[in-house]
Amino acid sequence: MKFQFPELPYALNALDACIDAQTMDLHYNKHHRKYYEKFMEAIEHTNTQGIETLEKLFSNISKYEPAIKNNGGGLYNHSFFWNSMTPNYRDCIGPLKTAIEKKWKTIESFEKKFTETATDLFASGWVWLILDEKQELQIIQTHNHENPLMDVCPTKGSPLLVLDVWEHAYYLRYKNERPGFIQAWWKVVNWKHAEDKYADLHR
Ligand SMILES: [Fe+2]
């Protein structure tokens, strides 16, 4: 397997409407990089022959040691999180907007439900918009570095959008006020990335 540490798709200060540059620097250059390095260490002495992608690895993650799940999840989830944000916000459009409105009536009520799910998540984890195995949109929580591609996740599916609610994602600016972070996050959501992921699942 060959895995790369991904480039951040914008400058460290580009998301200042939600995330300050110092937090982004620590989060990307320290936390995310450490998960990547520890993942590479963990797979060095593990037989992963024939497994070329993290997605394939996650589908059988329960067969591997916890360090592979924890750090591989940290690698994948953060990469997805960076792509779930943009300095050039625009509203959700197209088939994904239609699907969200079918399920939650309006984008605003979807955002309210997602915000509640993120606010209520106990301790460290992630909140996802996914297309589940029955082709239904769902908002789910995962704990630690689990994700909906992992066989250990109770609700599996394809990720469309994710929010990191570990304290390291917001503590410097927002302290213990996670709701303030989540409220600001909606100003930097990358709907195009979510729309593209949704379209990929319908080709
Ligand atoms: Fe994080």
Q: Is the residue at 6 inside a domain?
A: no
Q: Is the residue at 84 inside a domain?
A: yes
CA of 102 to the centre of ligand 1 (A): 31
pTM of the model: 0.97
CA of 101 to the centre of ligand 1 (A): 29
CA of 133 to the centre of ligand 1 (A): 26
Read off the CATH number of the domain in which 152 is found: 3.55.40.20
CA distance linking residue 146 with residue 72, whole number of Å: 9
CA of 56 to the centre of ligand 1 (A): 22
CA distance linking residue 99 with residue 107, whole number of Å: 10
CA of 104 to the centre of ligand 1 (A): 28
CA of 168 to the centre of ligand 1 (A): 6
CA of 162 to the centre of ligand 1 (A): 11
CA distance linking residue 178 with residue 121, whole number of Å: 10
Q: Is the residue at 135 inside a domain?
A: yes
Q: Is the residue at 24 inside a domain?
A: yes
Model confidence over 139-185: pLDDT tens digits? 999 999 999 999 999 999 999 999 999 999 999 999 999 999 999 99
Select from 151, 150, 161 the least CA-distant residue to 194: 161
CA of 32 to the centre of ligand 1 (A): 7
HEC per residue, the chain: CCCCCCCCCCCCCCCCCCCCHHHHHHHHHHHHHHHHHHHHHHHHCCCCCCCCCHHHHHCCHHHCCHHHHHHHHHHHHHHHHHHCECCCCCCCCHHHHHHHHHHHCCHHHHHHHHHHHHHHCCCCEEEEEEEECCCCEEEEEEECCCCCCCCCCCCCEEEEEEEECCHHHCHHHHCCCHHHHHHHHCCCECHHHHHHHHHHCCC
Domain count, the chain: 1
CA of 151 to the centre of ligand 1 (A): 21
CA of 9 to the centre of ligand 1 (A): 16
More confident residue, 50 or 90: 90
Q: Is the residue at 9 inside a domain?
A: no
Model confidence over 125-147: pLDDT tens digits? 999 999 999 999 999 999 999 99
Q: Is the residue at 1 inside a domain?
A: no
What's residue 37's pLDDT?
98
Q: Is the residue at 116 inside a domain?
A: yes
Domain that holds residue 158: 20-203
CA of 105 to the centre of ligand 1 (A): 31
Q: Is the residue at 13 inside a domain?
A: no
Query: pLDDT grade, residue 1 (50/70/90)?
Result: low
